[in-house]
Amino acid sequence: MENPQTMERLIRATGARPVFFPERTDCCGGGLIFTKEKVAFRMASVLLAKAQKSSPDCLVVACPLCHFILDARQGRIERELGAKVRIPILYITQWLGLALGVAPEKLGLHRLITPAQKLLQKICGAKS
C-alpha cells in the first residue's frame, strides 16, 4: 500500500498539523467529472464526508481537478450527502504562500467558492 507523505511534510514545515484520515490520498473523482459525473460526485462525496469527520480547517490539494470538484462543486456534494461540509480547499502553493506571509488576496483566497474566512482568522488573524 502506498503512503505518500510529501504534502504532510510540507504542511508540517509551515507549523501546521496535518489531519490524518485513511482516505486522504484517495482519488476525488475530479478526472471523471466530464465523462462519469455521477461517479465523480459520489467519489468526492465520500472523500469530503470522511475528511469532515476529522474536523480539518481546510483541505490542501495539488491537483486542479481536485480543487475544482472539491471547491467549486462542494454545494452539489453537500446535496449529495444531505449535509453541510463547508471545508475550504486550498492549493498547496496557496498554503505555502500563507505560511510565507503572502497576503490572502494575492493568493486568490477571496476567489474560493467555499469561503476561507474562518481559516484565515484562525491562522493569520484576517478579518472577513
Note the pLDDT tens digit of each residue in 72-94.
999 999 998 888 999 999 999 99
Q: Domain span at residue 54? A: 6-124
Question: To the nearest whole number, what is the mean pLDDT of the chain?
Answer: 92
Q: Which three cell numbers stand for residue 109?
A: 483566497
58 belongs to a structural domain: yes
What CATH number has the domain bearing residue 33?
A: 3.40.50.11810
* Residue pair 67/61 in contact by the 8 Å Cβ criterion: yes
Q: Is the pLDDT of residue 99 over 90?
A: yes
Q: Which three cell numbers stand for residue 89?
A: 480547499
Whole-model pTM?
0.90
Query: Is the alpha carbon torsion for 20, 122, 9, 45 positive or negative?
Result: positive
Q: Which of 86, 91, 120 is nearest to 105 (CA)?
A: 120
1 belongs to a structural domain: no
* Residue pair 114/71 in contact by the 8 Å Cβ criterion: yes
Q: Is residue 16 helix, strand or coil?
A: coil
Domain count, the chain: 1
